[in-house]
Structures are given as C-alpha cells and as structure tokens.
Amino acid sequence: MERRTFIKDIALVSSIVGTNSSILSPELFAKKSDAAKDGKVKPLAITMWDFSWLERRWPGAGYENWDKVLDELIERGYNAVRIDAFPHLIGADPFKEWTLIPVWDQNDWGSPGKNKVIVQPSLNSFISKCKDRRVKVGLSSWYREDADNVRMKITTPEKMAENWIKVLEMLEKDNLLDAVLYVDLCNEWPGDLWAPFFTNEPAIWGYWHTEKSMNWMNAALHIMKKSFPQIPFLFSFDNDRYEYYKEMKPPIDIAEHHLWMVKQNNEEFNKIVGYRYERFSSKGYINLAANAEKLYKSRPEYWKNLLAAAIKRLAENSEKANLPLITTECWAIVDYKDWPLLNWDWVKELCELGAITAASTGNWIAIATSNFCGPQFKGMWRDVEWHLKVTDRIKSSAIKEKLLTEKVTNKMSL
C-alpha cells in the first residue's frame, strides 16, 4: 500500500513540476537511490530542534538524554539538526541561569510554562555530541523572551552580530566550528514574534524585502562574514513572496525558506478549518481536530497540487538569485501535536510529498521531513520506517552543481 501511494505522489510531482526539472519517474528515482555512492555532494536530511533541545529537559519532555535522542535521530536517517544558540543570552551572560517566558502553551516546541536554562556549557556540549556522530548543526535563534527581556537590547545590527560572534568564538575555542553547517541570524526574519526588537516598515509578517529590513541584514551579515568568512550566513524567511529573491541585496549564502501547504492561497486551508495560530487557547486545536483531516481528505489532490506548485515556484525564484535552498520547517501544516482526534497519517502523506518534490528539483542542499521531527511528537517520532524511507530519498537525490559554492560544499561534508 505504501509503495502504491509513493508512486502516485511521484506521478503528481512530475505532472506539476514537469519533465525538464529533474523530477524523477518511480523507476529513475529507484535507480537514484545508489547515487550517494558516487562521491558527489548530496542533500542533508535535517530536522529542527529549535529551543526544545535545551528547554524540554524535564522528565518526559523528550530531550533529557541528548545521547539517546541523537542516536535515535541517526537511526531515522538524519544527519543534520537546526537548534537555537540563544545568542542574546550568551551575549549577556553565557553562564547565567535564565528564566524563560513561554511563547505559547498550546504547541509542543519549547516549554509551556516558565522554565530555567543555562546556555553554556550546554551548547558546546550538545554540538560536541553532534560532531562525534557526524551530525551537522545549523545554528539559529528564535530570540526567546526571558524575565529581563534582554533581547530588546538588540537595538542595532551591530549588536546582533556582536552576540553571534561571541557564540562562534566560544565554539571555536572548543574546536567545534567544523560541526556548524550555517548560521541563521534570526528565525523567520523579521517576524515580530521572533524579532520584537526590530520594527519593519510596513510591519507585515515575512516582509524581509523592505528597504529597512535589507539594510539591517546587510549590515549584520557583512560583520559576520568578515569575522568568520568560512561559515555560510543567512536569515531564514517565512512568506510566499519568493519573487523577491531576485532583488536580494544582503549577501546571504543560502536561502532558508519555510513552506507549508496550509499557508498557500492566502492561508485557504487554515481559514476553512478555523485555525488562527492561537498560542494560549485550545480553540485552534479543537478546530484542527474537528476539521483538518476531513478537509484534506475531501480534496487531497487539490491540496497536494498547492504544495508541489509552491515548492516549484520557490525553487525557480531562488535559482534565479543563484541561491541553494534549505527548508527546516515544512511541508503540511504549521502547528500540530499529539492530541485527541489528531491523526498523523495525512500529515505524513503531505510531508513525504513535499520532501520528495524538493529533493527532486536539485535546488535544496538540506531538507526536513517536517517541523515535527523530534521526540516530543511521539506520533511522528515513533514511525522509524517512515523517517528512513523519506530521509533515504533526500540523501540520495542530486544537487545542481551551479548552486554549490566552495564554502557551502565544505560545510556540508560529514
């Protein structure tokens, strides 16, 4: 049954993206599974452990034992992970015990209540364990709010860069820079949830292409590149304005873009379901349980086509800017969790399609299977066979050579 579903999805991808975009037929894709043996650079299978890697360490939260969960990550076929380095807290005091304020209590990333963390030496210890396992680490920051709200001291791009330089200097001291895949200076820039210290003009979520935003990115990136020229730097984005990549002025090395089916057509799926990203109310999840799977199954080909077409459009526009892609948050739905009447099957179906579609374009250098690939999402995490199936497709696909700079290629080597 799974084989038939996979072949059907490959046929769908081919019909949307076309035969000239290196989309593979089922037969060709099967032959491509041995491609990793040819010595060429292959995409990494990456997952997002965000701030959960440090926050969710109470009994039963999922990350109490880093050795265990990293071994489980490898068991599922992943060879890269994206985490929050908490640069603003390191910049203020890396060894202080910080009290973190929850960004939500409905989602299972991070902590649903106040929590306490000490960033160092935890960060270096975690990355060292990744290095030992040949797992590459993408560094990012969601600029988590603490009791003193020190993130609001990031008043200039120079201050943002100063904090990140301190992070990298601490990693360099312990010989850990070779484990770093890239540095994302801010998650989903310039969204106010993650970058409240920056006021965009206009203040619209995901509008990274404004003059004010690009000036900030440009200033911060130039400082970072001068200090650590061997590391790829970027800001990650979440919007559907892919066409602005051709106008990209800040010198990002990689386009780290987040993409979900539910956000297409001006959030058509979410609007019908009645989901509005409620952070401190269960109303959103109640509506998801009542409506999401039913809506998807009423028109599965329509929703699949929306997803695949968006992936194609992102690939085309980033390629025009000569930027390789990474996507760590994707492909089906933004928010989901283990909850009554929330089944994972339809989510996994869409995520498999999204990962295969991205891999087949040749534009991605690292691909996630979803933003739920962590031990706290038990319904997703326990399906080892599914993860292996999808991560194998990712790691055996090709990358367009014209998108591979020496810097990026060097950082991808395991």
pLDDT at 40: 84
Supply the range of the domain harboring residue 271.
2-412
CATH number at 6 reads: 3.20.20.80
Question: pLDDT tens digits, residue range 113-131?
Answer: 999 999 999 999 999 999 9
Share of the chain above pLDDT 70, in %: 91
CA distance 343 to 386: 15
pLDDT at 20: 36
DSSP string for 276-333 = ---SS-THHHHHHHHHHHHHHHHSHHHHHHHHHHHHHHHHHHHHHTT--EEE-SEES-
The phi and psi torsions of 183 (rounded to 5 degrees) equal: -125, 120
**Structurally, how many domains does the chain consist of?**
1
pLDDT at 11: 52
pLDDT < 50 regions, the chain? 1-10, 17, 19-38
Question: pLDDT tens digits, residue range 235-278?
Answer: 999 999 999 999 999 999 999 999 999 999 999 999 999 999 99
Residue-averaged pLDDT of the chain? 92
Buried b (16+ CB within 10 A) or exposed e, 352-377: bbbbbbbbbbbbbbbbbbbbbbbbbb
pLDDT at 5: 43
Alpha-carbon dihedral sign for residues 346, 66, 254, 403: negative
Alpha-carbon dihedral sign for residues 143, 148, 152, 158: negative
